């Protein structure tokens, strides 16, 4: 048995012992995706977190994802294997700044991307993920929308819905660093490849793409496409998922890695289950308010 197989076997045993489930985002390292009970995007994982019968959820993703699972499951133990697995985008919005803007414009709905802190969700009208952002904004009757914290996803939603949207000045460095010349260079090298990108990419990158969608939407697009090659404008680990699910197809990365996602390792998952750490805790007052915005989102699609 290799050391990796040994760790994976111990994780399986510990999982049984604690009646635990492992949820992993599609940006996790391949070896984490392999041991997970479920691999998905932010929306899929929120839904799984609501429906699970497990007592313990080991969340292999970043802080806001584990926090979301904890808020939707107040009676369960939610473990994040590395407390420093953060999301740079989620750190870009603070509740006091949003409240200031909200006070100046009472007719405005605050639509908050799930990539945000529990405190920010708690002062929001509704949450969304990249998979349902367009549907969420279309479901609102407000005349104005403040979209927090990702300006690129906000611009994508404005284009898709035709609604007047005010953007927060936040962005994800993993996607902001994907430049049009990189995409053009790959397209010249692989002319038969289709370009698929995440809506967190800047507009000039999106406008070069054949398809823009959340990770689950890109997965579906690739499965259905008659094309055999794809340039993938998002976090590189997503390609592990695409390759596993589409063995006959070829994928070209843009060389962009999320530091927070990559902090989770097999060793840390094993330790998390052995020591039951690190437990994710959200104060009840914040949890209750944030859960309203999350439940409203889950009711839309
Ligand atoms: P998805 O919900 O599309 O998986 O995106 C989450 C994310 O963090 C993108 O950077
Ligand atoms: Fe956050 Fe960007 Fe990492 Fe997604 S890829 S978790 S938005 S830093």
Q: Is residue 149 located within the same domain as residue 293?
A: yes
Q: Please, which residues bridge with residue 24 across strands?
A: 39, 60
Using a 6 Å cutoff on CB, does residue 290 contact ligand 2? no
Q: Is residue 50 located within the same domain as residue 72?
A: yes
Which ligand 2 atom sits nearest the alpha carbon of residue 27? 5
Task: State the greatest distance between any 2 C-alpha atoms of the chain, in Å, as a whole number.
Answer: 63
Using a 6 Å cutoff on CB, does residue 114 contact ligand 2? no
Q: Which stretches in the chain have pLDDT values below 50? A: none
Q: What is the pLDDT of residue 143?
A: 79
Q: Is residue 275 located within the same domain as residue 290?
A: no
CATH number at residue 70: 3.40.50.10800
Domain of residue 24, residue span: 3-87+261-281
- What distance in angstroms lies between residue 52's CA and the mean position of ligand 1's atoms? 21
Q: Is residue 225 located within the same domain as residue 196?
A: yes
User: Based on the structure, what is the number of domains in the chain?
Assistant: 3
Using a 6 Å cutoff on CB, does residue 88 contact ligand 2? yes
**pTM score of the predicted model:** 0.96
Using a 6 Å cutoff on CB, does residue 130 contact ligand 2? no
CA neighbor of 61 nearest in space, from 301, 257, 262: 262
What CA–CA distance (Å, rounded) separates 266 from 87?
Answer: 20
Q: Is residue 185 located within the same domain as residue 160?
A: no
Q: What is the pLDDT of residue 146?
A: 96
Q: What is the pLDDT of residue 155?
A: 97
Q: Is residue 208 located within the same domain as residue 271?
A: no
Q: What is the pLDDT of residue 85?
A: 98
- Protein residue whose Cα sits closest to atom 3 of ligand 1: 214
- Protein residue whose Cα sits closest to atom 6 of ligand 2: 87
Q: Is residue 160 located within the same domain as residue 294?
A: yes
Q: Is residue 223 located within the same domain as residue 236?
A: yes
Encode 207-255 in three state secondary structure.
CCCCEECCHHHHHHHHHHCCCCEEEEECCCCHHHHHHHHCCCCEEEECC
Q: Is residue 29 located within the same domain as residue 82?
A: yes
The neighbour count for residue 102, using CB atoms within 10 Å, is 17
Per-residue DSSP letter, 91? G
- Ligand lying nearest the CA atom of residue 170: 2
């Amino acid at each position: 048995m290799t050391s990796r197989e040994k760790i994976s076997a111990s994780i399986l045993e510990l999982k049984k012992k604690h009646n635990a489930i492992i949820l992993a985002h599609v940006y996790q390292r391949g070896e984490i995706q392999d041991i997970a009970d479920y691999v998905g995007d932010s929306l899929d994982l929120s839904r799984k977190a609501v429906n699970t019968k497990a007592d313990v959820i080991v969340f292999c993703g970043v802080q806001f994802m584990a926090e979301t699972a904890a808020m939707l499951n107040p009676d369960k133990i939610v473990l994040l294997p590395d407390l420093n697995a953060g999301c740079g985008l989620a750190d870009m919005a603070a509740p006091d700044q949003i409240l200031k803007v909200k006070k100046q414009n009472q007719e405005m709905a605050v639509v908050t991307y799930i990539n945000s802190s529990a405190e920010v969700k708690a002062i929001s009208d509704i949450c969304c993920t990249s998979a349902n952002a367009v549907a969420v904004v279309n479901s609102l009757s407000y005349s104005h929308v403040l979209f927090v914290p990702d300006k690129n996803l906000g611009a994508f939603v404005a284009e898709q819905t035709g609604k007047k949207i005010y953007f927060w000045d936040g962005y994800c460095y993993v996607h902001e660093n994907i430049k049009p010349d990189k995409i053009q260079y790959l397209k010249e090298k692989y002319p038969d490849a289709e370009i698929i990108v995440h809506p967190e990419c800047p507009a000039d990158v999106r406008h070069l793409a054949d398809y823009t969608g959340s990770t689950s939407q890109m997965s579906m697009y690739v499965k259905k496409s008659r094309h055999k090659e794809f340039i993938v404008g998002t976090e590189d680990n997503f390609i592990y998922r695409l390759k596993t699910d589409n063995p006959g197809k070829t994928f070209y990365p843009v060389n962009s890695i999320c530091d927070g996602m990559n902090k989770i390792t097999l060793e840390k998952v094993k330790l998390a289950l052995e020591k039951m750490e690190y437990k994710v805790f959200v104060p009840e007052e914040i949890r209750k308010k944030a859960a309203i915005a999350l439940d409203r989102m889950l009711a839309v699609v």
